[in-house]
């Protein structure tokens, strides 16, 4: 039977405290969370921060399995991070020699730390998109970036692009999956193909997906114009955001790990 | 649900959007495996534990045409796209090209179109090319998901007539999923009606006429021509052996009833 794949940008309806937060609070929490993650440089603090992140997930109605799937979908990037450190960092004791390449403990440790940092980013970003509707996220970002308009930054254009991108990421994934299935049903079996042909076939998959995305983009732009949309026109919002005490408390939560990471 | 396809005939799967037609169709091709029960195609049985090899074997026998198949074309030329399936199934290039040309001929695609980019064909030609791409694999069973979607009336009639010819002249078994009874009624011999993932009817066309309530409950609109035939049958007592009687048959029945009832 069909199983829905969990990916970024897919909102999961729910009524947890995280769902109810002002999107601006969640967006402002991102740099704070990043600061905490970058301040951490050893296993103990890293594990403590990971526990804090997982606790955040657990306190929402999102299942850990959904978050794990989001992390799993980026396993290639995580493997690359570990491998990169392993191959190019020669600090610490030599671990082993593979042909002409020597691997060191320092490289392995830094690779794992960097990968764990990335895992935390992915988990946090996943929870953010799982608990915030794409239009709310875009609206929140627009309002966070609004002061930059004085410096000439067209924040409304950025948020429009982000809003549309977030809305269409799951659609494009679904379309790619449908096209992939169509090729598989015509006998495509990547495992039996040499690496070069595999790459060519995967690139071929991108052609109909890209063509579909362009078709959709044109149709969307025309539909928006037909309904009177003009860039830079003054407009009101369907939902107006209001900052509550819980949003301040949520941001306060992130000061805690930063302080812990900085001083412990 | 349990039903068997009649060999060499066209079967229609009717149901409203979201009734499970596409999910059912993907089981015939091994793209989805049943959680329980099995799907038997000739001597091959697919169940929850079936191997990829078994699925591949089924895909050689069953060609699946997804909805909007023209959006899945990707090769540089129509001919290359048509050869993609046969080559995946291990056929040599000359044989694949011959199969591609045969399939193009079946679908009424002129030879001169084969050297063109699929993206330069008209939308009707793209649809026919995409179906030909599946036919080129020479499957015994052809499964099509809403093949007439977004085609005009003439295009729908032409496509259905071609599929009918495939049953009658090439002995193929054709399964068409649709929510438009009027598209399949002139050609389909057997009918499967789905409602919310459950089979509510399976049988020949003339028995479907006694189950119009099942059709309406499944969200399938009974076309005016069929309702007229039902009305004539009820008033005159003349039974039609087909779900879609010819206008001349209906006229003759009405005339006969009129003559019978006319005062002498």
Chain B closest-CA separation from residue A187 CA (Å) = 5
Q: Are residues A138 and A226 in the same domain?
A: no
pLDDT at B264 over 70: no
Average pLDDT over residues A85-112: 84
A140 and A168 assigned to the same domain: no
CB A161 within 8 A of CB A224: no
Is A211 at the interface with chain B, CB within 8 A? yes
Q: Which of A86-95, B17-26, B48-57, B167-176 has the lowest mean pLDDT?
A: A86-95
Q: State whether A203 and A249 are in the same domain.
A: no
Q: Does A95 touch chain B (CB under 8 A)?
A: no
How distant is the Cα of B85 from the closest Cα of chain A, in angstroms? 5
Whether A247 and A221 share a structural domain: no
β B198-204/B190-195 pair status: antiparallel
Query: Which band of pLDDT confidence, cut at 50, 70 and 90, is reported for residue B192?
Result: very high
Question: For all residues of chain A together, what is the average pLDDT?
Answer: 83
Helices and strands counted in chain B (H then E): 11, 8
Mean pLDDT of chain B: 89
The answer to whether B84 contacts A1, with C-beta atoms less than 8 Å apart, is: no
Whether residues B71 and A179 touch (CB distance < 8 A) is answered with: yes
CA distance B29 to chain A (A): 7
- A187 with B63: Cβ contact below 8 A: no
Provide the whole-model pTM: 0.70
- Which residues, 6+ apart, have CB-to-CB distance to A94 below 8 Å? A102, A103, A104, A105
**Measured between CA atoms, how close is A174 to chain B, in angstroms?**
13
Angstrom CA distances, B27 to A87, A174, A212, B177, B180, stand at: 46, 18, 26, 13, 22
Contacts of B103 in chain A (CB under 8 A): none
- Same domain, residue pair A77 and A24: yes
Give A33 or A233, the one with higher predicted confidence.
Answer: A33
The answer, for B69 touching chain A at a CB cutoff of 8 Å, is yes
For residue A65, what pLDDT band results from cuts at 50, 70 and 90?
confident
pLDDT score of A9 more than 60:
no
Q: Give the model's pLDDT for residue B177.
A: 95
Q: What is the distance in angstroms between the CA of the first residue and the CA of the last residue of chain B? A: 55
pLDDT score, position A99: 79
pLDDT at position A70 over 70:
yes
Which among B31, B64, B71 has CB closest to A212?
A: B71
Q: Which residue has the higher pLDDT, A177 or B143?
A: B143
CB A186 to CB B85 under 8 A?
A: yes
Contact between chains at A186 and B60 (C-beta distance less than 8 A): no
A77/A191 same-domain check: no
Which tens digits make up the pLDDT trace of A164-173?
887 788 788 8
Same domain, residue pair A110 and A226: no
Taking an 8 Å cut-off on Cβ atoms, the answer to whether B59 and A187 are in contact is yes
Q: Which residues of A touch B133 (CB under 8 A)?
A: 186
**What's the pLDDT band for B262 if we cut at 50, 70, 90?**
low
State the angle between helix axes of A105-131 and A75-88 in degrees (0 to 180), rounded to the nearest 10. 160
Per-residue pLDDT for B135 more than 70?
yes
How near does any CA of chain A get to the CA of B6, in Å?
Answer: 22
- Provide the angle, in degrees to the nearest 10, between the axes of the packed helices A43-58 and A245-263: 160
Banded model confidence at residue A4, pLDDT cuts 50, 70, 90: very low
Task: Kindly list the residues from chain A whose CB atom is less than 8 angstroms away from the CB atom of residue B134.
Answer: 185-186
Of the candidate ranges A8-12, A82-86, B2-6, B241-245, the one whose mean pLDDT is the lowest: A8-12
The one-character DSSP state at A11 is: -
Mutate to test the interface with B, among A185, A191, A214 (most CBs of B within 10 A): A185
Chain A contact for B32 (CB, 8 A cutoff)? yes
The interface pTM score, or ipTM, of the predicted complex is 0.72
Q: What is the pLDDT of residue A2?
A: 42
Q: Is A7 helix (H, G, I), strand (E, B) or coil?
A: coil
| A202 Cβ under 8 Å from any chain B Cβ | no
Question: Which residues on chain A are in Cβ contact (under 8 Å) with B85?
Answer: 186-187
| pLDDT per residue as tens digits for the range A142-162 | 889 888 888 888 888 888 888
Same domain, A125 and A165: no
| Half-sphere exposure (Cβ direction) of A47: Cα atoms closer than 13 Å | 2
CA gap B89, A147 in Å, rounded: 60
Total domains, chain A: 2
B86/B30 Cα distance (integer angstroms): 18
Contact A186 B66 (CB under 8 A): no
Mean pLDDT is highest, among A238-242, B136-140, B204-208, for B136-140
Q: According to the model, what pLDDT value does residue A88 have?
A: 86
pLDDT digits (tens, 9 = 90+) for A46-60: 888 888 888 888 888
* Both structure tokens of A182: 């169509």
Query: B63 — contact with chain A (CB < 8 Å)?
Result: yes
- Would you state the structure tokens that stand for residue B62, as one six-digit string? 């069953």
Dump the DSSP string for B84-133.
HHHHHTT--HHHHHHHHHHHHHHTT--GGGTTS-GGGS-HHHHHHHHHHH
Q: Are residues A100 and A212 in the same domain?
A: no
Q: Are residues A115 and A223 in the same domain?
A: no
Write out pLDDT tens, residues A170-216. Answer: 788 888 888 888 888 888 887 777 778 788 777 777 888 888 888 88
Q: Does A205 reach chain B within 8 Å, measured CB to CB?
A: yes
- Alpha carbon separation from B140 to A111, B40, B166 (Å, rounded): 53, 14, 10
Q: What is the pLDDT of residues A87-99, one digit of tens each?
A: 888 888 887 887 7
Mean pLDDT, residues B123-148 taken together = 91
At residue B189, the pLDDT reads 92
B64 inside 8 A of chain A by CB: yes
Q: Please give, rounded to a whole number of angstroms, the shortest distance from the CA of A202 to a CA of chain B.
A: 11
Total number of residues shown for chain B? 264
Q: Which of A112-116, B68-72, B97-101, B245-249 has the highest mean pLDDT?
A: B97-101
For the beta sheet containing B198-204, the strands, ordered from the edge strand earlier in sequence to the opposite edge, are: B62-65, B141-145, B173-178, B10-14, B190-195, B198-204
**Residue A172 belongs to what domain range?**
155-230
Q: Which residue reads 């050609």 in tokens?
A: B187
Residues A257 and A198 placed together within one structural domain of the fold = no
Cβ neighbours of residue B80 closer than 8 Å, sequence gap 6 or more: none
pLDDT at B156 over 70: yes
Q: What would the DSSP string read from start to end of B177-216?
A: EES-HHHHTTT-SEEEEEETTEEEEEEEHHHHGGGHHHHH
Binary contact (A181, B59; C-beta < 8 A): no
Kindly state whether residues A106 and A165 are assigned to the same domain. Answer: no
């Amino acid at each position: 039977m069909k199983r829905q794949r969990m990916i970024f940008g897919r909102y999961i309806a729910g009524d947890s405290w995280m769902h109810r937060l002002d999107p601006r609070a969640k967006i402002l929490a991102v740099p704070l969370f990043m600061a905490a993650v970058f301040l951490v440089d050893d296993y103990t603090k890293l594990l403590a921060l990971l526990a804090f992140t997982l606790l955040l997930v657990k306190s929402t109605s999102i299942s850990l399995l959904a978050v794990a799937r989001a992390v799993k979908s980026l396993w290639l990037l995580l493997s690359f991070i570990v491998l990169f450190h392993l191959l190019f960092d020669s600090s610490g004791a030599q671990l082993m020699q593979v042909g002409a390449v020597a691997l060191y403990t320092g490289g392995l440790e830094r690779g794992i730390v960097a990968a764990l940092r990335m895992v935390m980013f992915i988990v946090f970003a996943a929870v953010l998109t799982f608990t915030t509707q794409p239009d709310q996220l875009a609206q929140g970002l627009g309002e966070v970036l609004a002061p930059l308009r004085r410096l000439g930054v067209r924040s409304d254009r950025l948020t429009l692009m982000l809003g549309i991108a977030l809305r269409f990421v799951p659609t494009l994934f679904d379309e790619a999956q449908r096209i992939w299935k169509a090729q598989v049903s015509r006998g495509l079996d990547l495992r039996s193909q040499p690496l070069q042909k595999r790459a060519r076939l995967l690139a071929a998959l991108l052609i109909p997906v890209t063509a579909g995305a362009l078709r959709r983009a044109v149709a969307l732009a025309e539909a928006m114009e037909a309904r009177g949309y003009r860039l830079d026109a003054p407009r009101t919002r369907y939902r107006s955001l209001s900052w509550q005490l819980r949003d301040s408390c949520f941001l306060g939560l992130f000061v805690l790990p930063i302080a812990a990471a900085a001083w412990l | 649900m349990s039903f068997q396809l009649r060999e060499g005939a066209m079967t229609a799967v009717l149901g409203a959007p979201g009734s499970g037609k596409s999910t059912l169709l993907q089981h015939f091709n091994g793209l989805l495996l049943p959680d329980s029960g099995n799907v038997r195609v000739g001597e091959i049985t697919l169940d929850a534990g079936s191997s990829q090899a078994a699925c591949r074997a089924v895909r050689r026998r069953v060609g699946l045409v997804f909805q909007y198949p023209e959006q899945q074309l990707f090769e540089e030329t129509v001919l290359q796209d048509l050869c993609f399936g046969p080559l995946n199934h291990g056929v040599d290039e000359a044989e694949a090209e011959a199969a591609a040309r045969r399939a193009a001929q079946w679908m009424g695609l002129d030879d001169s179109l084969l050297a063109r980019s699929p993206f330069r064909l008209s939308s009707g030609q793209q649809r026919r090319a995409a179906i030909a791409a599946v036919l080129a694999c020479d499957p015994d069973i052809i499964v099509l998901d809403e093949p007439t979607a977004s085609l005009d009336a003439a295009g729908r009639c032409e496509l259905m007539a071609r599929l009918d010819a495939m049953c009658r002249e090439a002995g193929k078994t054709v399964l068409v999923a649709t929510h438009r009874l009027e598209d399949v009624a002139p050609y389909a011999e057997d009918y499967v009606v789905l409602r919310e993932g459950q089979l509510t009817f399976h049988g020949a066309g003339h028995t479907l006429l006694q189950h119009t309530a099942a059709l309406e409950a499944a969200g399938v609109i009974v076309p005016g021509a069929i309702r007229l035939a039902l009305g004539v049958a009820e008033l005159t007592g003349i039974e039609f052996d087909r779900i879609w009687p010819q206008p001349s048959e209906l006229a003759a029945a009405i005339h006969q009833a009129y003559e019978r009832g006319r005062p002498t």
